A and B are shown apart, each in its own frame.
Chain A
Amino acid sequence: MSTPPTILPDRSGHYGIFGGRFVPETLMTPLTELERMYREVSAERTFREEFGILLADFAGRPTPLFRADRLTARFKRGTIYLKREDLCHTGAHKINNTIGQGLLAKHSGKKRVVAETGAGQHGVATATVAALMDLDCVVYMGSEDMRRQESNVHRMRLLGADVREVSAGSGTLKDATSEAIRDWVTNVDGTFYILGSAVGPHPYPMIVRDFQSVIGREVRRQVHALAGRRPDMLVACVGGGSNAIGLFHDFLGEETRLVAVEAAGLGIGSSKHAASLSAGKPGVLHGSMSYLLQDDRGQVLPAHSISAGLDYPGVGPELSYLKETGRISVATATDDEALDAARRLTRLEGILPALESAHAVAGLEKLMPGTRPGEIVVLGLSGRGDKDIGTIRQEPLR
């Protein structure tokens, strides 16, 4: 019998065999201190009140749950609702977590924050909170991602962040994360690392999950208010997995079907994808054990996705565990399917999704035929697509 998923991680930061703390010794004590501070501070009423006020008045929560009638009519099965994280301030769910971690940074007394970013959404959300809370902000971003998410680079700089280009490796999120960790190791005394996804060493996957699980709690209330029951299926895209675990977490102990949609890039059969849950093996990258794209010698393989936010060879430890135990199921969508889905949602519902979120929309093509009329399907629309207009325009309409 496996541990009930709702009470993880265990005391040492593990989710089954996944998670843990695989980091240089320099970071071990700062991580222990962060965990202690987080447990203490997050239990305080003043922190919860301040966090709640900022989520409401700064980020714009609760986000709406929108019934997508024309998308629903496409399948003639279950009813599709969109959880509109794209309407959050800065355009994605990432702000939920950066407000929380920004408050932790302030509480720690550290004046400087560092972050990694792929699509630039976490970087923008971190730079935004740094401006709000008067913190110095350094964001590491891969050179390839700076090119394809140029508008977000400008936004971060406008917000006062120092955006540092990382050209090592594939010039994407993996390399930016390595560089952010190196910065943190070097400046650990005065710097707070604001990690953007539910990845990394314990306690980060837990902290990010907790701050993002507001998404699922709102969905529960909203669905209950309109239907008097729970949703039947939740669908979210997965890169590192912060929006997926945020949507899923409140429902882990129940029967709601949970589906994570990974980026299949040019196809799972090609070597160019980012489907670590579907095609990876357990391994250690960036401080924790999780499913990982790697060769048989344990070298990390470069990921590929048209979406910079999903272009990462690992995935969070909790989602790894939930996949291993069968609690979540995993689907995939290719670059082309995601592009088509982005265009489709725009035309059908007047909502341009981020290319990350478009993978979840694409996943509906395979998932909806398996639903019944009257079933409630909630799709986590994690971000808006303005940042991706350049990429979407370049790709030919098929």
Chain B
Amino acid sequence: MKGLDATFRSIRTAGKKALSVYLTAGYPTRSMTVQLAVGLASAGADLIEIGIPFSDPIADGPVIQECSTLALSAGTTPEDVLSMVKEIRNSTPIPIILMGYVNPILAYGMGTFIQDAKLSGADGTIIPDLSLEESGAYLRNTAESGMAPVFMVTPTTPESRLGEIDRISRGFVYAVTVNGVTGERTGTGDVAGESIARMKQHVTRNPLLAGFGISDPETASGISRLCDGVIIGSAVMNRLRHEDPETGYRSALGFISSVRTALDG
């Protein structure tokens, strides 16, 4: 286990940009999630985000909604997700971030969940519908367990709040490139540039990784110049939506390799 801070240090020292890849846990299958995370680590991902499926994902677009629904109907529980994290951790030292909506985490028990996530080998957590204002217990629990609480900033976040979110975040800050939900878009680079540059001015303590709507290597490379790295989610999940899981697997890995090349180019 390498840890988030050490990972970002070595990326910076090498003059590179970070690449974080999101996977919905349990889609298309539990074993495929583990196989993918390990494969993506070799294909050039620096971080893996593992999404805990939820019945009502209001921050997600159609692709991740569908993957979540299918993962849930296959019976994926938060406990299963933690055991997937453990398996991934046993195969690779890549930092793992758990991403999940707040209600399943509250049902598990916030404190217990953070402890168990740490024990399973996760490095940090993102809870997209847990605002800074509602994060009191969450921040205490993550501090006690040594988990990194990663918060999001968006084009609507005012400057004073950017600084506040930077102060309470650990690991990195997640820059949401555009107003909206997750999902592939065209033209993200044009609209996102200005707001990412503004975020970068005020997020000074943590690395800033940009996500939402980054769907091709060129956009990833363009946006990464304005911050410390990029996050890819729906574009990978969409490639997994294939009749033959092996074809989906190869397509996802090939795509991430091409993003890696573009980022390093």
Taking Cβ atoms with an 8 Å cutoff, the residues of A that contact B are 12, 20-30, 168-169, 174, 178, 181-182, 185-189, 283-287, 292, 294, 296-300
Contacts and interface: CB of A to CB of B under 8 A. Distances in A.
Contacts of A12: 133
Contact of A299 (B72, B129, B134, B151): B72
Nearest to B60: A182
Contacts of B157: 25, 28-29
B120 interface: no
A299 B72 CA distance: 9
Nearest to A181: B58
B65 A168 contact: yes
Contact of B129 (A24, A186, A298): A24
B179 A188 contact: yes
14 contacts: A20-B134, A22-B130, A22-B131, A23-B58, A25-B128, A26-B179, A28-B132, A29-B157, A178-B58, A182-B181, A283-B107, A284-B103, A300-B56, A300-B103
A299 B55 contact: yes
A287 B134 CA distance: 11
B193 interface: no
Given A24-B128, A188-B179, A298-B78, 12 more contacts: A20-B133, A21-B131, A21-B134, A22-B131, A24-B58, A25-B128, A29-B161, A185-B181, A283-B103, A284-B103, A298-B104, A300-B103
Contact of B179 (A189, A286, A299): A189
Which of B58, B78, B107, B108 neighbours the largest number of chain A CB atoms within 10 Å of its CB? Answer: B58
B146 interface: no
A299 B68 CA distance: 11
A199 to B, nearest CB: 13
Contacts of B56: 169, 174, 178, 285-286, 300
A25 B153 contact: yes
Most chain B CB within a 10 A radius of its CB, from A20, A30, A182: A182
Contacts of B179: 26, 185-189
B77 interface: yes
Interface residues of B, number: 40
A296 B107 contact: yes
B63 interface: no
Contacts of B54: 298-299
Interface string B137-176: 0000000000000011111111001000100000000001
B1 interface: no
A29 B128 CA distance: 15
A334 B97 CA distance: 45
Given A20-B133, A298-B103, A298-B106, A26 B154 contact: yes
B62 to A, nearest CB: 8
B70 interface: no
A23 B155 contact: no
B180 interface: yes
A25 B59 CA distance: 10
Nearest to A288: B134
Given A21-B134, A26-B155, A178-B56, A186 B181 contact: yes
Contacts of A178: 56, 58
A23 to B, nearest CB: 6
Contacts of A298: 54, 78, 103-108
Contacts of B133: 12, 20-21, 28
A297 B176 contact: no
B78 A297 contact: yes
A384 to B, nearest CB: 31
B180 A186 contact: yes
Contacts of A189: 179
Interface string B46-86: 00000000111011010001000100100001100000000
Contacts of A296: 107
Contacts of A299: 54-55, 72, 103-104
Nearest to A14: B134
A174 B154 CA distance: 26
A16 to B, nearest CB: 14
CB-based closest 8 A-B pairs? A298-B107, A298-B104, A186-B180, A26-B154, A299-B55, A298-B103, A25-B152, A24-B59
B29 to A, nearest CB: 19
B58 A182 contact: yes
Contacts of A28: 131-133, 156-157, 161
Contacts of B11: none
A25 B154 contact: yes
Nearest to B127: A22
A302 to B, nearest CB: 9
B102 interface: yes
Nearest to B212: A26
Contacts of B154: 24-26
B54 to A, nearest CB: 7
Contacts of A292: 103
B180 A185 contact: yes
A130 B55 CA distance: 32
B156 A284 contact: no
